[in-house]
Amino acid sequence: MEKCPVCKEMKKGKFSCSGCGAFFVCPNPGCSSEIRKRDAEGCPRCGLLFADYLKNRKMLRQCPKCKKKQGLSEPQCRYCRYWFLCPTCGHKVPSTSMLTCPRCATSLR
């Protein structure tokens, strides 16, 4: 354990601080992004929700379109069919209004 830069206690683990709940590295093995924003609710890269991970080790994301929570491994929203990742190239779809992948032009409808 190291000293947490947020609460200054020796509770900083590999991904997060067990004292104050601050995240430093995304715990999603396929992502591992460094988290710089201290009040972030989720990973800016893969969308993992930190609160659910902290509570019950569940890897969930929130759909930016219909706001429903679901497993992080799903490439498409189960409820509104919004694509989180391009089904062809895996590129992150940055906007809910995109109809094609910005990288490979696959239709996202």
The interface with Zn ion within residues 17-56 (CB under 5 A) comprises 17, 19-20, 26, 28, 31, 33, 43, 45-46, 48
Q: What is the DSSP string of 63-107?
A: -TTT--EEETT-SB-TTT--BSB-TTT--B---TT-SB-TTT--B
Site string for Zn ion, 76-95 (x = CB under 5 A): -x-xx-x---x-xx-x----
Q: Which of 60, 16, 58, 11 is nearest to 34 (CA)?
A: 16
Q: Binding residues for Zn ion, per CB under 5 A?
A: 4, 6-7, 17, 19-20, 26, 28, 31, 33, 43, 45-46, 48, 63, 65-66, 77, 79-80, 82, 86, 88-89, 91, 101, 103-104, 106
